[in-house]
Amino acid sequence: MRPSFIRLCAVTLSFTGSLVFLGFCLVFLSGCTASGPKYLNLSYSTAHPVKDRQQSVGLSRFNDKRLDTTKGHIGHRQLWGDKQEIYAVTGQDLSAAMTRVFRTFLEQRGFSVVLLPPWPLTAEGVSRMPHKFARVLAADINRFGCRAVKTGVTTQMTLIIDLTFYLGTPDKGRLSTIPVVLTLERTELVFSRKKLETFINDAIEEIFVKAFPSL
């Protein structure tokens, strides 16, 4: 056997071994998890130029109607066997976080937002609200969660957000109900808390725009 052929075989085996070792490291590292939940910061970052805030809207705190989870839980990643990484919203209160993000969404579109206590979600309830508000808004969180499953070296993420918005016009005593459901899937080769956070924040922006396309 010629020396050049032997050297080529050695290099090939070395390269193949490096790939196998790298793959093993990725699997091992992605399978490791620290105890306790990992926290995600929900936010709205898209900036819109606002020249003058002329309309005032009232916003009530989002109502978390989920029954099968804690108020801060927003997802988990299934690892090997029965191991899981648990993800929660910073502050452990999804209602507060979604209210804050939606307020930013409205302010970025030129509205002056005033936080309101809960109000009756009926036409009569809307008519009793101060007419200084161009609109009053509330929302229910029906479902909100991301399930990520590790498959080999990749992670498959499935996110479901199910919200019901209530949009009232006080001077007309009119109430509109706007249900919006969004289901998204994404596959990541290298999974991280930051990638999950970005995935969820992008989905929140999409669902706000879908519910209020004219804002």
The one-letter code for the residue type at 83 is K
pLDDT of residue 35: 53
User: Is 53 or 196 the better-scoring residue by pLDDT?
Assistant: 196
Average pLDDT of the segment spanning 2-22: 45
Q: Three-state DSSP class for 118?
A: coil
Q: Which residue has the tokens 């969404």?
A: 105
Pick the CATH number of 33-211 from 1.10.287, 3.40.50, 2.60.40, 3.40.630: 3.40.50
User: Is 131 or 8 the better-scoring residue by pLDDT?
Assistant: 131
Q: Of 85-94, 123-132, 149-158, which range is least confident?
A: 149-158
Model pTM?
Answer: 0.81
In angstroms, the CA 10 to CA 104 distance is: 59
When the pLDDT of each residue in the chain is averaged and rounded to a whole number, the result is 85
pLDDT of residue 150: 84
Which residues in 138-162 are b (16+ Cβ under 10 Å) and which e? bbbbbebbbebebeeeebbbebbbb
pLDDT of residue 133: 95
